[in-house]
């Protein structure tokens, strides 16, 4: 027989359970998603924000390769109490995400004064630009081009290395399908070993599972099997800069690198960007500084000539921001660069507020 006392106890128990469930749902079950149009660092007066469209996210050294999903457009969430607290204290902004708080596994690049982007063009062969290239604060290279045997022309230092789709697939194939001791496998490993602790960056889409799997596999082999101090990086949003520069065809890796470098470099010098078979004196130029091949510089996918002309125009009008080297480098002597801080940039005006040249969380 149910007594009034038992009924009252039952009701109180149910009420307590309801309160607990409601409290749990409100505290942990309701999440508020952030849009992440901007990435920010610092707080209050020192807060600096930049466009997430052009952000390179570098996984920290202490992050396991098993925890590197390389997810594009990842939008973090905050709990309802966090949301209410930020709302009450006037700190909430749905479009801002903080590196270190909302993206604790990655770091970003610090601002750089003097940057070099080393293309793979044959114009670099016998240029003697190696010492000048290595004198820059931050050096970027493309598609694991070799430096051994070409140091006097291309230098040896590297901080960031872009790999395109073809290079990623070649790298994956040689690391996973070749046995130890294979010439091609050893060639790729030697290239990467020579890069020291630089960053390997894939800038395009990883929405295809095979692309993400290949990059994750490369990360695992390089870091966990061979224990190389290479860092892995990806773009929060796949790089697509064609509309910003009115390009009718797909941008090349070099042009993509330049476009992203503008967001954290005050002064950029381009080497090895020269899409012609002869120099201005009529001497033949091989396609790459490290090998030769027939190549169409005006193709269906890329138009190297159009990009070069645009870069040349930018260099002529903004010599404090961009310098284009298409000649020998004063017999290898390092030139003194005139560096000035950039003004507002109509392309994108992010600010990376940290020390140079560290990666900062």
Which residues are identified as catalytic?
A: 302
Structure tokens at 314: 């930018």
Q: Which of 225, 217, 144, 149 is nearest to 180 (CA)?
A: 225
242 vs 255: CA distance, rounded Å: 9
Strands (E), the chain: 31-33, 38-41, 48-51, 56-59, 77-79, 96-98, 106-109, 112-118, 138-142, 160-162, 199-202, 231-235, 265-271, 322-325, 359-360
Query: Helix, strand or coil for residue 14?
Result: helix
Report the interhelical angle of 209-220 vs 165-177 (nearest 10°).
50
Q: Is 119 exposed, middle or buried (0-12, 13-18, 19+ CB in 10 A)?
A: buried
Q: Which residues contact 53 (CB under 8 A, 6 or more apart)?
A: 236, 237, 348
């Amino acid at each position: 027989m149910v007594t009034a006392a038992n009924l009252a106890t039952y009701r109180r128990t149910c009420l307590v359970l309801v309160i607990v469930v409601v409290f749990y749902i409100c505290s942990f079950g309701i999440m508020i998603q952030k849009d992440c149009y901007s990435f920010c660092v610092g707080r209050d007066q020192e807060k600096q924000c930049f466009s997430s469209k052009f952000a390179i996210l570098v996984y920290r050294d202490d992050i396991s390769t098993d925890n590197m999903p390389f997810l594009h457009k990842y939008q973090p969430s905050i709990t309802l109490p966090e949301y209410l607290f930020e709302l009450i204290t006037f700190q909430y902004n749905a479009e801002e995400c903080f590196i270190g708080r909302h993206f604790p596994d990655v770091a970003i690049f610090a601002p750089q004064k003097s940057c070099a982007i080393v293309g793979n063009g044959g114009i670099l062969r016998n240029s003697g630009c190696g010492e000048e290239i290595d004198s820059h604060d931050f050096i970027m290279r493309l598609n694991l081009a070799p430096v051994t045997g070409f140091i006097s022309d291309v230098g040896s230092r590297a901080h960031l290395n872009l790999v395109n789709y073809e290079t990623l697939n070649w790298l994956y194939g040689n690391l996973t399908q070749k046995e130890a001791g294979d010439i091609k496998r050893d060639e790729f490993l030697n290239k990467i070993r020579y890069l020291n602790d630089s960053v390997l960056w894939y800038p395009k889409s990883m929405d295809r599972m095979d692309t993400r799997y290949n990059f994750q596999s490369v990360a695992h082999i390089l870091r966990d099997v061979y224990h190389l101090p290479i860092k892995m990086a990806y773009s929060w949003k796949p790089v697509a800069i064609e509309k910003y520069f009115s390009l009718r065809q797909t941008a090349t890796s070099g042009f993509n690198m330049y476009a992203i470098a503008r967001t954290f470099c005050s002064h950029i010098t381009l080497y090895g960007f020269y899409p012609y078979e002869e120099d201005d004196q009529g001497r033949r130029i091989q396609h790459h500084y490290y090998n030769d091949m027939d190549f169409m510089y005006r193709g269906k996918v890329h138009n190297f000539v159009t990009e070069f002309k645009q870069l040349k125009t930018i260099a002529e009008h903004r010599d404090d921001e961009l310098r284009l080297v298409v000649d020998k480098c004063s017999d290898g002597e390092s030139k003194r660069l005139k560096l000035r801080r950039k003004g507002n940039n109509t392309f994108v005006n992010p600010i990376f507020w940290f020390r140079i040249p560290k990666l900062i969380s």
